[in-house]
Amino acid sequence: MKIAIMGAMPEEIAPILEKVGEYKTTKYAGNIYYEAKYNGVDLVIAYSKIGKVFSTLTATTMCEHFGAKKLLFSGVAGAISEKLKVGDLIVATKLAQHDLDITAFGHPFGYVPEGAVYVEADKELIDLSKEVAKEMGKSVQEGIIATGDQFVADEKRKNWIGEKFGADALEMEGASVAVVCDALDVPFFILRAISDAADMDASFSFDEFLETSAVESAEFIMKMVDKLVD
């Protein structure tokens, strides 16, 4: 079984590449894919670049071209919930696109015909993450993640997303990856470590905590891989 591990930015996959050690590099469809054998399991690792379009392309490529049968996403996010502080981990139960808007036709935010507002993440992988959290002695929160092609650094926008989607965190890739994996029947798991509070200080907080939060997320993801290999 081949497992895909994806991030959006180089900092999000650097700790993963470091952990696997040796890998083969392949250029494909405008991106770089890293293939490695890790504890007997095949991995394909990549960062997509930021946003829904690039993450859609990478997730699709990992499944359709590289044959990944499960996909794990590791990265950082802005917090909506007051309970999430910088460095905390959130596992997505379901994901929505907060910037998808054809409400002029009477549809709800995040909805297009033949789509769905929310895509649910794989329950077995979420259950596995609970075991991993217990073993690592880490408290990991579960919640709804909202995705859009915007870096949110505004209290009003963040609160609106929280209210409309019941979202606990926001970022720029999760829901698009979810749509791809759901359509291709590939179980997926989206993990994010908080880098900022999506408020007026978000860009400063992001710059300060990107690396440490990305490492938090990556370490947890690699423990998930260890469990999947067992």
- Binding residues for ligand SAH, rule: CB under 6 A, are 8-9, 50, 75-78, 151-152, 170-173, 195-196, 198, 202, 206
What lies within 8 Å, CB to CB, of 154 at 6+ separation is: 198, 199, 200
CB of 132 to ligand SAH, least distance (A): 22
Min CB(52)–ligand SAH separation in Å: 10
**Rounded Cα–Cα distance for residues 164 and 145 (Å):** 12
Alpha helix positions (H), the chain: 10-20, 52-64, 123-136, 155-165, 174-184, 202-229
Shortest distance in whole angstroms from residue 208 CB to ligand SAH:
11
> What is the identity of the amino acid at 100?
L
Nearer residue to ligand SAH within complex by CB, 100 or 228: 100
Minimum CB separation of residue 131 from ligand SAH in Å reads 26
For residue 169, the minimal CB distance to ligand SAH (Å) is 9
Residue in 122, 168, 171, 196 annotated catalytic: 196
142 is catalytic: no
Query: CA 157 to CA 189: how far, in whole Å?
Result: 26
**Residue number with the smallest Cβ distance to ligand SAH:** 78
Contact indicator for 43, 225 with CB cutoff of 8 Å: yes
Nearer Cβ to ligand SAH (38/192): 192
Q: In sequence order, what are the residues at sequence separation of 6 or more whose Cβ sits closer than 8 angstroms to the Cβ of residue 128? A: 224, 227, 228
Residues 171, 177, 183, 187, CA torsion sign: negative
Tokens (6 digits) for 122 = 């794989």
| Catalytic hit among 12, 88, 171, 219 | 12
Nearer to ligand SAH, 172 or 224 (CB): 172
196 is a catalytic site residue: yes
Q: Give catalytic residue positions.
A: 12, 196
